[in-house]
Homo-oligomer: A and B are copies of this chain.
């Protein structure tokens, strides 16, 4: 089965806003074995929306509309889809009463536009909206001789996600041919995409029945595996088979098989070990700590640390000897090591991480180019220091540096 998603709203045709609902919808549709073949974005104009509706009904088996169900004059989805299907709009009197009751409670007047939200397309099932006022609609119909499932959903992400999960997913499952789909997501740290893909391709190419998607972001590569089977067990066994082979190939690099972020994996290992962590950040300016503390409950293993942008603070907070800063420079192997061990001692933690580097775009020299980063990990007995020259702009270099730091700690804790 295939689907088209139509996102409605003139703001989605400006440089400032983007349709993101389709990512959520695609994920859930894929779980049901439905492929999205077109996405259309259209403004709040009757003739454009009507045209987009007709085209979608011709070419896709499931057509999902998001947005344009609110109470303003710009909200035209109900009218347009009714017209495209050649059906009348009816008014749901129960809902009209509900609209008046809730408005009275808030001492608001009900306008004719507001009452539009009680309109439904003849033959549609109404989908309750427990997170907003505009209900959705579900229409199982025939269009030009073809069966079509037409779904109208509200635009706000919290409303559309809730409504799809509550009222559409199971309904679609019942309507669709039974499918058994298994998926798996492997995440790898600090390996380049071409290198990872070269090593992985010779394995996954033997599994032509499994769809393998390789995605990359700075310091991270993901393998998304997906297959169908005659039974759920068969599909899962098959995906597990490929996943195991990839895990064998990338024993060092794979940090998660179940979707966790690198921060979450480090959190898990630290807690399992009853270990604590502190950081001293120079060029990353707080990004490492910010990533670590994204996890709720991180205060159990993360004590804090120091932001040592200036040389003076490298001395004051981490006890880096001034002569070291003078002889080796702030961006050096020895200063990174001193930051890591210094902050570990000051904060009395199991581990200490020190980062120093040149995030750019200015400040680079031939000896210390933009992108050069030293990351040190100290545990009291030993301090490990890694240096790398990362490509890209300031933001990318800083992200890479924190990814390297988290991965160093992960490998240590494994």
> Which residues from chain A sit less than 8 Å from chain B, CB to CB?
11-18, 20, 23-24, 26-27, 30, 35-43, 45, 48, 51-52, 55, 59, 213, 215, 224, 279, 281, 284-290, 292-294, 296-299, 302-310, 312-313, 316-317, 346-348, 359-363, 394-395
Q: Whole-angstrom distance from the CB of A260 to the nearest CB of chain B?
A: 17
Q: Do A306 and B307 have beta carbons less than 8 Å apart?
A: yes
> Contacts A48-B37, A292-B285, A298-B285 hold; do A304 and B307 have CB atoms under 8 A apart?
yes
Which residue of the partner chain, among B16, B298, B309, B347, contacts A302 with CB atoms under 8 Å?
B309
Residue of B nearest to A393 (CB): B296
Contact partners of A363 in chain B: CB under 8 A: 296
Q: Do A309 and B296 have beta carbons less than 8 Å apart?
A: no
Q: Do A39 and B41 have beta carbons less than 8 Å apart?
A: yes
How distant is the Cα of A348 from the Cα of B336 in the complex, in angstroms?
23
Report 13 cross-chain contacts, Cβ distance below 8 Å, ordered by A residue.
A13-B39, A15-B24, A16-B23, A16-B215, A17-B215, A38-B40, A40-B40, A286-B293, A297-B362, A305-B307, A306-B306, A306-B307, A313-B347
Q: Do A38 and B27 have beta carbons less than 8 Å apart?
A: no
Interface centre among A15, A26, A55, by most chain B C-beta atoms within 10 angstroms, is: A15
Which residue of the partner chain, among B39, B284, B304, B316, contacts A313 with CB atoms under 8 Å?
B304
Q: Do A26 and B14 have beta carbons less than 8 Å apart?
A: yes
Q: Do B304 and A293 have beta carbons less than 8 Å apart?
A: no
Q: Do B303 and A309 have beta carbons less than 8 Å apart?
A: yes
> Contacts A285-B289, A285-B292 hold; do A309 and B299 have CB atoms under 8 A apart?
yes
Q: Do A37 and B30 have beta carbons less than 8 Å apart?
A: no
Q: Do B294 and A394 have beta carbons less than 8 Å apart?
A: yes
Which residue of the partner chain, among B13, B55, B293, B316, contacts A285 with CB atoms under 8 Å?
B293
Residue of B nearest to A276 (CB): B310
Interface centre among A17, A290, A292, by most chain B C-beta atoms within 10 angstroms, is: A290
Q: Do A310 and B306 have beta carbons less than 8 Å apart?
A: no
Q: Do A296 and B23 have beta carbons less than 8 Å apart?
A: no
Q: Do A38 and B37 have beta carbons less than 8 Å apart?
A: no
How distant is the Cα of A389 from the Cα of B181 in the complex, in angstroms?
44
Q: Do B299 and A310 have beta carbons less than 8 Å apart?
A: yes
How distant is the Cα of A18 from the Cα of B22 in the complex, in angstroms?
9
Which residue of the partner chain, among B14, B41, B294, B305, contacts A38 with CB atoms under 8 Å?
B41
Contact partners of A18 in chain B: CB under 8 A: 18, 20, 23
Q: Do B309 and A306 have beta carbons less than 8 Å apart?
A: no
Q: Do A38 and B42 have beta carbons less than 8 Å apart?
A: yes
Extra contacts, 14 of them, besides A12-B39, A286-B307, A312-B348 (Cβ < 8 A), are A13-B36, A15-B26, A16-B215, A39-B41, A281-B289, A284-B290, A285-B290, A285-B293, A285-B298, A296-B363, A303-B309, A303-B310, A305-B306, A313-B347
How distant is the Cα of A296 from the Cα of B361 in the complex, in angstroms?
7
Which residue of the partner chain, among B14, B48, B279, B309, contacts A293 with CB atoms under 8 Å?
B309
Q: Do A16 and B316 have beta carbons less than 8 Å apart?
A: no
Contact partners of A213 in chain B: CB under 8 A: 11, 14, 16
Contact partners of A289 in chain B: CB under 8 A: 281, 285-286, 307
Residue of B nearest to A313 (CB): B304
Q: Whole-angstrom distance from the CB of A270 to the nearest CB of chain B?
A: 13
Q: Do A362 and B224 have beta carbons less than 8 Å apart?
A: no
Residue of B nearest to A346 (CB): B316
Q: Do A290 and B293 have beta carbons less than 8 Å apart?
A: no
Contact partners of A52 in chain B: CB under 8 A: 38
Contact partners of A316 in chain B: CB under 8 A: 346-347
- 8 closest A-B pairs by beta carbon, nearest first, are A285-B293, A286-B286, A286-B289, A15-B27, A286-B290, A304-B307, A39-B41, A304-B309
